[in-house]
Structure formats: C-alpha cells, structure tokens
Amino acid sequence: MCSHATCMTRRMFVGGIAVLVAASAPGLQSTLAAQQEKAAPKLNLPKPGEHDKCPVCGMFPARYYEWIATMVFADGSAVHFDGAKDAFKFWLDMKKYDPKGRTRADVKEFGVTAYYSTEIIDARKALYVIGSDVIGPMGHDLIPHPDMYDAEAFMKDHKGKAIVRFEDIDMDMLLGLDRGVFKVRGKEAK
C-alpha cells in the first residue's frame, strides 16, 4: 500500500519520464496528448460549509475533504456528499433524497474527489474502482480517478476488483457496496 503522497510522487516521476520520452520522440507527443484529453476535467465547485449535511446519510461532508462529491444545479444551489457512493444514490433516486423535487436535468455540474490528487473532477468523465482495500466514510465506496493510468495504478496498489464508468453505476452496485459485495451490471466482480 502507498500513501497519497507516495503515489503522487511515483506518478509525477513516471509523468516526468513520459515528458522526456515525448520530447525526444515527436510521434509520441500526439499519443500522450490524446491520453491527456481523455482525463476527467477538473471542476471548480463550491465547497461544503461546516453545517452542510449529506442528503443521503446526514453526515457532514466538510469533515471528509478527501471524499467530497458535489452537485451544482442550474439555479446555482449545490448539495454535497461525503463520498461518491452517496452522490450516486442521490443521482439515481432524486425523488427519494431531494426535497426540492429537482431532477437529473437540473444538475449543471457533478463533481467527485479524485483519490490521488484530491481535486474535484467531472463525475461523468471519471473512472471508478470498486472492491478495493480503501474504505470511505460510509464503508466500501466508488473510488474516483481522472484517467485509466490512475485507475489501474490504484487497482494494483489497493487490490481493486473492477474499474467502472459513470454509465455502469446502478443502484444494485451501490447497495452491493454497502454489503461488501462488488457487482458490475448484476455480475459479481472477481
């Protein structure tokens, strides 16, 4: 296992080597640029206040800055969550969790905290690892990553079971995470 700081250092080292290789091999520059474009973009979203509560579990997201997820609505209001799992529960069942009666169409931005960098990234473009040895504030969670490089490194470092995309996440997967069962599209990940 590695700490956030150790993994960041390793990633920066590997990234630095990639830049040196790209500089000496012009054909690789376009390949590296294409990989960079596929990364989930960073978002500048409002941070939760100390009294903001997760609408799914009632915890205070500001206390878990390394796990925060945020949705910003078209009217400028925001809701904050103590992890990606609760944010997706809200997303998938807004009738149950949102007293204001908003729908997915009202969501302007949806951000999650990337595991290694702890930056807020676009939830719709992120990759998520399930079934790892990393436990969030609400137990097993979806661990967000901006790109495949981070997701695969995390899988290796933390014994993840599967990498999933935004469109793969359903309530069955989320409820499975609550029970320590790791399912992707109804099938258990090994």
What's the CA dihedral at 40, 45, 47, 53 to 10 degrees? -80
CA distances to 16, 21, 69 from 25, rounded to whole Å, are 14, 6, 39
Tokens 């973009």 -> residue: 41
Per-residue pLDDT 10s for the chain (190 aa) are 444 544 444 444 444 444 333 444 444 444 334 444 589 999 999 999 999 999 999 999 999 999 999 999 999 999 999 999 999 999 999 999 999 999 999 999 999 999 999 999 999 999 999 999 999 999 999 999 999 999 999 999 999 999 999 999 999 999 999 999 998 888 888 7
The crossing angle, in degrees rounded to 10, of helices 148-158 and 4-24 is: 140
Does residue 116 sit in helix, strand or coil? coil
Task: Give the per-residue pLDDT at 189.
Answer: 82
pTM over 0.75: yes
Domain ranges within the chain, ordered by starting residue? 1-37, 39-188
Cβ(38)–Cβ(147) under 8 Å?
A: yes
